[in-house]
Amino acid sequence: MNTDPLFSPFTLENFRLKNRLGVAPMTRMSSVKDSIPREDVLEFLVRRARNGAALIFTEAIVTDYESAQGYPGQARLVTQRQIEAWKPVVRAIRDAGAVSIMQMFHCGRVAWPEINPAGRIIAPSPLIPRDLNPLTGKPYPVPDEMSLFDIGHVILGFVETAKGAINAGFDGVEIHGAHGYLINEFLSAYTNQRHDAYGGTVANRYRFAQEIIQAVAPVIPADKLLTFRISDWGVVDMDVSLFRTKEEYQQIITSLSQEPLDAISVSAYDFQTKAFGTDRNIAQLTREATSLPIMICGKIYDRATAEMALKDADIALSAKSILLNPDWVEDVRQGKPLRPYHSAEADIAYTTTPLP
């Protein structure tokens, strides 16, 4: 029997992950034409699967042609041409013995109009982050407060993109509810100041996420996966916790546990940080509130940190380490001395330099 905590298999619904290490979703901004990522960016995912990662997330795929895109060069998955581009990637990941999940998102207020075909930004409330947009050096424009029509339209975008992923053969779909993007903007009182059924109480702020999950779930076949990503930090105004208290966070986790989800992916900035003024980290607080499988991410970079992270979670995801080191899984297996990477080093992800 394999008792190595990192390299023992894990059953995720119908899938058997060969180990507990996966590639976290990573936006690469490489799609020049047709919202299809560059060939080397797609090959990167296949290579990580061949090099031992058990689970491969795609970059965040934007859910519509109106306002979902937050960064230049993001991908979509709603046209036949886009579906055909992903099919061989998904097949190769499966042939390598790994599981593939397409992550989809709507950026909400963290965008600027020029990059979206419709030139419009939407959010739960017309509020901008304090931080400037690092890509333009300017304040983010004030978003339109989403109407009920907008809410319905955005939900359809998630559904259509999930259908695209299923058509492309993906093993699962992830709804990106983290990092201060649209779904997170609804969940958090920091960004949601609505007075209708989508704002105010935690239950009301949860409603938009719930409607997306419940609309997407029926298009995911029973033998495929549906996961949800959540975080207590955002890409803008990072010092602001997106949830005010442990109770509020756990109420949302409890609500998510009642949805047709197969796992919750918890994105911590650093998995070891004690969350919400408690003496427990965010994976531990998540575990208290759900019996769903938990993925954890955030400064997991070597065998010791991966083992520590898996004390409170089932699957450990890496972004920067697995981005910059193609042999990361094998190096972790061997317990090699490894260092954490800085965010600036990961900026190579956004260049045209093919990664090894």
Q: Which residues are catalytic?
A: 181
Give Rg (Cα) of the chain: 19
C-alpha span between 166 and 78 (Å, rounded) = 11
Non-local (6+) Cβ contacts of 320 within 8 A are 301, 340, 341, 343, 345, 346
Burial class of residue 188 (count of CB atoms within 10 Å of its CB; 0-12, 13-18, 19+): buried
Residue written as token pair 């699957």 = 315
Please say which residue, 18 or 320, places its beta carbon nearer to ligand FMN. Answer: 320
Question: Residue-wise over 224-242: b if at least 16 C-beta within 10 A, else e?
Answer: bbbbbbbbbbbbbeeebbb
Q: Toward ligand FMN, which CB reaches closer, 40 or 145?
A: 40
Query: How many C-beta neighbours within 10 Å does residue 64 have?
Result: 20
Closer Cβ to ligand FMN, 154 or 300, answer by number? 300
Of 46 and 297, which CB lies nearer to ligand FMN in the complex structure? 297
- Rounded to 5 degrees, φ, ψ at 17 are -75, 135
Q: How many Cβ atoms sit within 10 Å of the Cβ of residue 133?
A: 17
Nearer to ligand FMN, 25 or 73 (CB): 25
How many amino acids of this chain bind ligand FMN (CB under 6 A)? 22
The rounded distance, in Å, linking the Cα atoms of 61 and 99 is: 17
Q: Does 100 bind ligand FMN (CB under 6 A)?
A: no
Task: Assign 55 to helix, strand or coil.
Answer: strand
- The reply to whether 321 sits near ligand FMN by the rule CB under 6 A is yes
Q: Does 318 bind ligand FMN (CB under 6 A)?
A: yes
Binding mask 35-64 for ligand FMN (x = CB under 6 A): ------------------------xx----
| Footprint on residues 183-222 left by ligand FMN (CB under 6 A) | none
The least CB distance from residue 339 to ligand FMN, in Å, is: 12
Between 1 and 344, name the residue whose CB sits nearer to ligand FMN.
344
Of 11-19, 40-48, 293-301, 330-338, the window that binds ligand FMN (rule: CB under 6 A) is 293-301
CB of 276 to ligand FMN, least distance (A): 19
Is 178 a binding residue for ligand FMN by CB under 6 A? The answer is yes
The correct pick among 19, 267, 286, 290 for binding ligand FMN (CB under 6 A) is 267
Binding-site member from 27, 35, 69, 192 for ligand FMN (CB under 6 A): 27
Shortest distance, position 124 Cβ to ligand FMN, whole Å: 19
Which lies closer to ligand FMN via its Cβ, residue 18 or residue 299?
A: 299
Helix (H) or strand (E) holding 205: helix 202-216
Could you tell me which stretch among 112-120, 159-167, 171-179, 281-289 binds ligand FMN (CB under 6 A)?
171-179
What the block records as the tokens of 326 is: 């193609």
Closest to 156 in 3D by CA, of 83, 216, 220: 216
Q: Is 146 in the site for ligand FMN (CB under 6 A)?
A: no
Q: How deeply is 150 buried, as exposed, middle or buried, from its count of CB atoms within 10 A (0-12, 13-18, 19+)?
A: middle
Strands (E), 159-249: 172-176, 225-231
Length of the chain: 356
Q: Residue from 320, 325, 328, 332 that binds ligand FMN (CB under 6 A)?
A: 320
- In the complex, what is the shortest distance from the CB of residue 222 to ligand FMN, in angstroms, rounded to a whole number? 25
Q: Per CB under 6 A, which region of 132-140, 149-157, 245-253, 298-306 contacts ligand FMN?
A: 298-306
Among 18, 38, 48, 176, binds ligand FMN (CB under 6 A): 176
Q: How far is the CB of 244 from ligand FMN (least distance, A)?
A: 22
Listed residue (30, 111, 36) closest to 70, CA to CA: 111
Using CB under 6 A, list all residues that contact ligand FMN: 24-27, 59-60, 103, 176, 178-179, 229, 267, 297-300, 318-321, 346, 349
